[in-house]
Amino acid sequence: MRNAANEAAEAAFVPALPFALVSNRETLVGRGCLRLVGEAGKSSGESSGTRTRAFFAEQASGPRIIVGALPFAAGAPAHLYQPAEIARSAGRSRLAAAFPPALVRAAVPALQWRVEAEPPLAAYRVAVAEVLARMARGEEGLRKVVLSRSLRLLSDRPIEASALLRALAQDAHVTAFCVPLAGGPSGRALVGATPELLVARQGLDVISHPLAGSARRLPDAGADRAAAQTLMASDKDRREHAEVVTAILDLLTPHCAALAHPGEPQLSATATMWHLGTRIEGRLRDEAMSALDLAALLHPTPAVCGTSREAAARTIAELEGYERGFYAGAAGWVDEGGDGAWHVAIRCAEIAGNEARLYAGAGIVPGSDPVAEGEETSAKFAALLGAFGIDEDGRAAGEPRA
Ligand SMILES: C=C(O[C@H]1C=CC=C(C(=O)O)[C@@H]1O)C(=O)O
């Protein structure tokens, strides 16, 4: 059912930037917006998958694809729309054409930054300690909680999301994404570089590649390899990882005729982080289950929320002190046939005018150490901060400490 509020929102959404997903496999660029997928129907329990099917049935024109972002929180609105044009090409070849560098860039002095930690690192450690205390008391059967913190970056000029996307897309191990958002200043966008695939569907084939368990990569090759080996051998990280794999397998099993995964987690690398990863491949029983239905089924996995899901979500809402928005949600696409891919929206920033809001989380399980978990979130911020050319205190990268 359409109403006046939906129609007003549809009329108002004119993306200043293209939607983009950029990986070694493919660059998918969606320009403009023909129509938003409305939220009407959600209150009566209609899923995003049902609403996109109804959308395609109603709209005869335009590309047969929906792109956008899913929020972290169950009740928050998704941001899904039909672009006016869609272009798909192999590899990263079309990125520069879709997000061209500003011609006068060389003459522009570097941005000046102020960085505010919200909450401060010390408060984050206190929150981690509180989660551990609740687990030790056996509260709500909590086994894992992914607690995040946020950095608010303020620059002296509007931040260019295109430049950030180009910088992030240089890491060959990630899917860089740009989702233009409605509301706020022109150019508001969610931009990130995620190593984690929530789910992809092609025909009956389904893939999920969850990550959990992390170590910072190191400049010295020997020390870097040793950090990876320590991660592989870490009982705490393996328990953190197992929670995610078990949850995804439990959710996919009733929907799959076949499901396969390696018995052991594998090392997965980005330019700045090591992770434990497990690639899960399945064969769906029913092709009516779209990539968006699968994303809704799996999200939020214990890679971004915890176990049990409901208790962890309550704990996060209570202890983090801010709305996650689209952080720890998903960015992706679904087409009329139900194929699509949804990537976990981590290692990302919401850009609005002169401000960027960055988020990073770490999985807390019994045995976690509040100081080490804080350091892990700092390591996860490094990819975004590096793309801006600054460190966590707002100093230009390489500038000596005072
Ligand atoms: C929640 C985040 O990372 C997840 C993905 C990989 C490893 C994770 C970890 O080791 O805690 C997290 O589960 C984040 O980057 O904000």
Range of weakest confidence among 43-47, 206-210, 240-244, 254-258 = 43-47
Using pLDDT thresholds of 50, 70 and 90, give the confidence band for residue 401. low
Q: What is the pLDDT of residue 39?
A: 74
Which residue's entry shows tokens 């030790």?
Answer: 136
3-state DSSP assignment of residue 11 = helix
Is the distance from the beta carbon of residue 128 to the nearest atom of ligand 1 less than 6 Å?
Answer: no
Quote the pTM value: 0.94
pLDDT of 369 > 80? The answer is yes
Spatial contact of 148 and 325, defined as CB atoms under 8 Å apart: no
Q: For atom 2 of ligand 1, which residue has the closest CA? A: 361
CA–CA distances in Å: residue 295 to residues 133, 166, 231: 32, 27, 28
Is the distance from the beta carbon of residue 146 to the nearest atom of ligand 1 less than 6 Å?
Answer: yes
Q: How far apart are CA 395 and CA 38, in angstroms?
A: 42
Q: Is 380 a catalytic residue?
A: no
Domains identified in the chain and CATH numbers: 4-99+113-388 (3.60.120.10)
- Contacts of 256-263 with CB under 8 Å at 24 or more apart are 256/206, 256/282, 256/283, 256/284, 256/285, 257/283, 257/284, 257/285, 258/282, 258/283, 259/283
Q: What is the pLDDT of residue 250?
A: 98
Q: How far apart are CA 63 and CA 297, in angstroms?
A: 26
Q: What is the pLDDT of residue 6?
A: 45
Angle between helices 291-298 and 235-252 (to 10 degrees): 130
Q: What is the pLDDT of residue 99?
A: 84
Is the distance from the beta carbon of residue 304 to the nearest atom of ligand 1 less than 6 Å?
Answer: yes
* Non-local CB neighbours of 132 within 8 Å, separated by 6+ positions: 364, 366, 368, 370
Spatial contact of 53 and 63, defined as CB atoms under 8 Å apart: no
Is the distance from the beta carbon of residue 295 to the nearest atom of ligand 1 less than 6 Å?
Answer: no
Spatial contact of 353 and 185, defined as CB atoms under 8 Å apart: yes
**Best mutation site among 72, 149, 171, 214 for ligand 1, i.e. most ligand atoms within 8 A of its Cβ?**
214
Is the distance from the beta carbon of residue 390 to the nearest atom of ligand 1 less than 6 Å?
Answer: no
Q: Is 336 a catalytic residue?
A: no
Reported as a single tens digit per residue, the pLDDT across 56-109 is 999 889 999 999 999 999 989 999 999 999 999 998 877 878 888 765 454 456
Which two tokens mark 27?
A: 């660059």
Which two tokens mark 39?
A: 């939220």
**CA 344–ligand 1 middle distance (angstroms):** 10
Average pLDDT, integer, range 301-321: 97
Which two tokens mark 30?
A: 């969606």
Q: How far apart are CA 351 and CA 354, in angstroms?
A: 8
Q: How far apart are CA 79 and CA 209, in angstroms?
A: 23
**CA 362–ligand 1 middle distance (angstroms):** 5
Sheet (strand 197-202) strand order = 35-36, 79-82, 65-70, 330-335, 340-344, 197-202, 205-209, 280-284, 256-260
Q: Quick one: what percent of the chain has pLDDT higher than 90?
A: 82
pLDDT of 326 > 90? The answer is yes
pLDDT of 5 > 90? The answer is no
Reported as a single tens digit per residue, the pLDDT across 94-141 is 787 888 876 545 445 667 899 999 999 999 999 999 999 999 999 999
| Complex ipTM value | 0.99
**CA 149–ligand 1 middle distance (angstroms):** 12
Q: How far apart are CA 349 and CA 332, in angstroms?
A: 16
